[in-house]
Structure 1
Amino acid sequence: MKPACLTRNPDGRRTLRFGMAAAVCICTLTACDSGSGGGSSADGGQRAAGGGITTVAKADRVPAPQLSGKTLDGATLDVGTAYRGKIVVLNVWSSWCGPCRGEAKNLAEVSRQLHSRGVRFVGINTGDPTAGTALSFEKERGVPYPSLHDPAGKLLLRFPRGSLNPQAIPSTVVVDRDGRIAARAAGGVSVAQLRTMLDPLTARK
């Protein structure tokens, strides 16, 4: 498979474009679409936390977009409704992406560790034209949570401008219990990175 990134057509519409270098598995979306408006700067309360992680102060967080659709196994999922009041980890991935293969076990591990603390994981599979290939990827790696099938990247375009929107495949975005975007990691994530983003949100006060 070939890596994909968002590009703008002459009429102004953004669609998914498949690149030529299949070896490049992380594609920075802002490099392909300078009009996306997202950024990883420290503006608007955003702060680089190290290790490829950016966080947002609670007072400066913006609402996550409405994310819903069919999962890879054909079920219907509305993230905001199903996981209201939960911390939600959104992982953008593709089956052809090397870093996605490497991070899958880490995501699965932390999803099990923190389930009892109100953390729910949801994948957003993009760039895989058919759900079957992506579903096989999840089954082979023991992924215990659902993934929305978003082959054309339409769900990614719903993230608000200037927010911690997904800017690479893979990307991981954390949404707090109030439904607001709290943190983002670009590229494949380790267990330590996931805990860095999640532990402050799950800490009992």
Structure 2
Amino acid sequence: MRSRPLRRSSARTLIAALAAASALALAACSTSSSGSSDSSGTNFVKGTGETSSVAVKDRGAAISISGKDLDGNQLSLADYRGKVVVLNVWGSWCSPCRAEADGLESVYTADKSKGVQFVGIDTRDLQTAQPKAFVADHNITYPSLYDPAGDLLLKFPAGTLNPQTIPTTIILDRQGRVAARALLPLSSSQLTQMLAPVLAEKS
């Protein structure tokens, strides 16, 4: 028994349905900058693009995250109390992370004498070989916590970041509290602009 050819109207309906399903699949795989990143209670005030800041009086408790770095050494954010800390969530597989890496290192080199410490959080790299190569390729001199399963990201207060949004950069004030955040790759000038008001704070 021969199968009947699809009528034109049926063919058009099928094509439209397949296109819609494809679009939904692509949307599901894309990185989002919304969701938990804008949860209530975070006190973020949106700035330009996807950058935001928190007024001193509205900042929560200090972020206490610790773990192993890419070389297996213990690393704790508490060791940097008294410094302004720039946290950058990245992965060697992430092309926007590669695009911003050189700029991050240049700002760190320029500002570390002012009491700024950078710390990376490498995530979703199942082995350390790839992130170590990334660090070497971009001449990165600051340490990174190794977080292949994203466990450290889940320890941040709800609404602080979205684990699906990579790269993300968070600035901690000298007391270890979240002061600013960017849910996008940053240029060196953008990062310097975000960092300046936190550096200018007296304590």
The two structures share one fold, judged by TM-score above 0.5? yes
2:157 alignment partner, SS class: coil
Alpha-carbon distance, 1:40 to partner: 7.0
Equivalent AA in structure 2 for residue 95 of structure 1: S
Instruction: Tell me the matched-pair count.
Output: 175
Q: Distance in 1 between matches of 2:32 and 2:74?
A: 29
Determine the structure 1 residue equivalent to 2:38.
Answer: 39
Please, which of 85, 95, 107 is the counterpart of residue 88 of structure 1?
A: 85
Is structure 2 residue 60 aligned with structure 1 residue 62? yes
Please, which of 130, 136, 140 is the counterpart of residue 137 of structure 2?
A: 140
Determine the structure 2 residue equivalent to 1:160.
Answer: 157
Determine the structure 1 residue equivalent to 2:128.
Answer: 131
2:181 alignment partner, SS class: strand
Deviations 1:75-112 (A, max 9, x none): 111111x2011100100000010100000001100001
Q: Distance in 1 between matches of 2:146 and 2:32?
A: 20
Alpha-carbon distance, 1:54 to partner: 0.5
Please, which of 158, 161, 180 is the counterpart of residue 177 of structure 2?
A: 180
TM-score (normalised: structure 1): 0.78
Q: Distance in 1 between matches of 2:43 and 2:148?
A: 32
Please, which of 3, 9, 28 is the counterpart of residue 32 of structure 2?
A: 28
Q: Is the 8 A contact 2:91 2:97 kept in 1?
A: yes
Q: Where do 5+ consecutive residues of structure 2 fail to align?
A: 1-24
Alpha-carbon distance, 1:51 to partner: 3.2
Alpha-carbon distance, 1:165 to partner: 2.2
Please, which of 148, 151, 154 is the counterpart of residue 151 of structure 1?
A: 148
Q: In structure 2, do the counterparts of structure 1 residues 109 and 166 end up closer, same or farther at CA, with 3 Å as the change threshold?
A: farther
Q: Is the 8 A contact 1:169 1:187 kept in 2?
A: yes
Q: Please identify which structure carries the higher helix content.
A: 2
Alpha-carbon distance, 1:49 to partner: 1.4
TM-score (normalised: structure 2): 0.79
2:38 alignment partner, SS class: coil
Q: Distance in 2 between matches of 1:153 and 1:166?
A: 11
Equivalent AA in structure 2 for residue 161 of structure 1: A
Q: Is the 8 A contact 1:92 1:169 kept in 2?
A: yes
Please, which of 89, 97, 100 is the counterpart of residue 100 of structure 1?
A: 97
Is structure 2 residue 201 aligned with structure 1 residue 197? no
Q: Is the 8 A contact 2:75 2:145 kept in 1?
A: yes
Alpha-carbon distance, 1:30 to partner: 5.5
Q: Where do 5+ consecutive residues of structure 1 fail to align?
A: 1-19, 32-36
Q: In structure 2, do the counterparts of structure 1 residues 170 and 40 end up closer, same or farther at CA, with 3 Å as the change threshold?
A: farther
Please, which of 49, 52, 60 is the counterpart of residue 50 of structure 2?
A: 52
Q: Distance in 1 between matches of 2:43 and 2:75?
A: 31
Give the fraction of aligned pairs with identical amino acids, expressed as a percent: 45
Q: Please identify which structure carries the higher strand content.
A: 1
